[in-house]
Amino acid sequence: MKKGVITTYVLVFGAVFLLMLGGLLSFISLQLRQTNQKVSWNEALEIAEAGMNYYRWCLNNEVSQNCLTEKEYQDSAGNQIGKFSLQIDTAQSCGISGSTKIISTGWTYKFPNIKRKISISYGRESVAKYSYILKSNVWVGGDHEIRGPFHSNGGIRMDGENQSLVTSAAPDGEWVCTDSFDCSPCPTNYGCRIVGTDCVCPGVFTTTQNSNPDLFSFPVTSFPFDKIAVDLSKMKKLVKEEGQGLYFGPSGSKGYRIVINEDKIKVWKVLSTSMLNGICTIVDFKIICDGDSCKPECPECQGGRCVVRDPVIQSEQFLGEYAIPSNCGLIFFEDELWVGKVDAENMVKGKITIASADLIDSNKETNIWLQGNIKYLRGDGLDGLTLIAQHNNLVGLYSPDQMELRGVFVAQTGFFGRNHYQYSSYCLREKLEIYGSIVSSGRVGTQWISGSQIISGYRKRETYVDPYLLYNPPIFTPFISSQYEIINWEEL
């Protein structure tokens, strides 16, 4: 009887123990599986990021056409533990690749159903990172407000208001400040010093309380203008020989005038111009005026005197309105170009690049004359304009009193600015607002003073950098970096 009871107890407790042991083992097994799943979940993200880095390497080494869209992933010990798969969407304009969006999906072989997916956009930094990129010495007037990085390969007198870095690549961090920068007498109270007959100043200095010297930096590395020079011949080949965009050949007259009407462009042939004289202009960083004694920088010499003239449209012929191709917003004019009119503003829809260059006559370089407001139809980076002048990119005499310019303005061999005009009620204008970037080989200038008096140009000037164009500018906007960077990252 007692043996039977003991046996019963043994069986009962043994069954309970086995039941509990089985439950415990099942629990441990479940926890182990969940742990392995958690490890695989983390590894799947690492594998997806590996796919992202792999394709970034492909882009930066210009071998993306030969790179795999699905590839095995190895751990640090060389064991193949999973795979990543890539979906690639590259924005193209005129058949040329721009920013790239990638969706990278990663998974492990242990748990192939556990997948992590990330979306990444890659792009290169364009000149739109800067409000100004200049090759020459420059004087920023006290009225000028600049909201964006400002760089010059020469010296900078920054008397305006800067809200970002101001960098100079002046050799040894110094430059010779001349009369044309109002350095006579030499402003020795502001860091400058007299060396012989020269006034030598710091790479960046100011004589006002407007600027923020804490944001001055010099000397910095010189900006490689040769590397950001626009390939005008490539642009012409695309539009003329390959049928991309729009091409307008030599006008046979004085040039063209256009008005941008959203995704269309109205074009006139300029039949005749009158020449304004008695003006001053900028050549490199020097001021050259009509009537000066002849110098190497003079655009023309007659009787031992400089001749500086400015064309103004007298008559024109309407050629038509042309649709800008949605897949290639590139327009090339092989002649002088006037943009807009004082009473006819430009409205941009989409990403458009317009160039003016004469690649037929090697002795001629063309200019772009800005005569009307340039605005964008929409915000958030959907619209953008780049205007590339073979020589100068200039605001004309007959410009709006309150002028707004949006875009990237490139003066390839000349300067961006406004000449010094006399004898006209249009000489003095009130306010110039620029939303975008200026790239100028020569010294910029949209205001002229005599003593402390503004005698020509715009009394008030503001420049705002446009961050939307940094990675996604119009086609052929110069890039300052060859390396693709992450624009945004998100897990899907």
Asked whether residue 177 is domain-assigned, the answer is: no
Asked whether residue 411 is domain-assigned, the answer is: yes
What's the Cα-to-Cα distance from 234 to each of 228, 230, 384, rounded to whole Å? 14, 9, 21
Residues 392 and 258 in one domain: yes
Asked whether residue 387 is domain-assigned, the answer is: yes
Contact status, residue 280 vs residue 290, Cβ threshold 8 Å: yes
Domain that residue 108 falls in? 2-126
**Distance separating alpha carbons of residues 98 and 476, to the nearest angstrom:** 10
Do you know the residue count of the chain?
492
Asked whether residue 142 is domain-assigned, the answer is: no
**pLDDT value at position 325?**
94
Asked whether residue 450 is domain-assigned, the answer is: yes
Question: What is the maximal distance between C-alpha atoms in the chain?
Answer: 141
**pLDDT value at position 77?**
82
Q: Which of 168, 171, 198, 195 is CA-nearest to residue 183?
A: 198
Report the domain count for the chain: 2
Rounded to the nearest 10°, the torsion over CA 34, 35, 39, 45 is 40
Asked whether residue 297 is domain-assigned, the answer is: yes
Asked whether residue 357 is domain-assigned, the answer is: yes
HSE (side-chain half, CA atoms, 13 Å) at 478: 27
Provide the whole-model pTM: 0.89
Asked whether residue 158 is domain-assigned, the answer is: no
pLDDT per residue rounded down to tens, the chain (492 residues): 455 666 666 666 666 666 666 666 665 665 666 666 787 888 889 999 999 999 999 988 888 888 888 999 888 788 898 999 999 988 888 888 778 899 999 999 988 888 999 999 988 999 999 999 999 999 999 999 999 999 999 999 999 999 999 999 999 999 999 999 999 999 999 999 999 999 999 999 999 999 999 999 999 999 999 888 899 999 999 999 998 999 999 999 999 999 999 999 999 999 999 999 889 999 988 899 999 999 888 988 998 999 999 999 999 999 999 999 999 999 999 999 999 999 999 999 999 999 999 999 998 999 999 999 999 999 788 999 999 999 999 999 999 999 999 999 999 999 999 999 988 999 999 999 999 999 999 999 999 998 889 999 999 999 999 999 999 999 999 999 888 888 888 888
At which of 99, 126, 153 does a domain end? 126
**pLDDT value at position 221?**
94
At which of 126, 161, 186 does a domain end? 126
At which of 104, 126, 148 does a domain end? 126
Residues 116 and 246 in one domain: no
Classify residue 365 as left (phi > 0), alpha (psi -120 to 50) or beta.
Answer: beta
Contact status, residue 83 vs residue 70, Cβ threshold 8 Å: yes
**pLDDT value at position 43?**
87
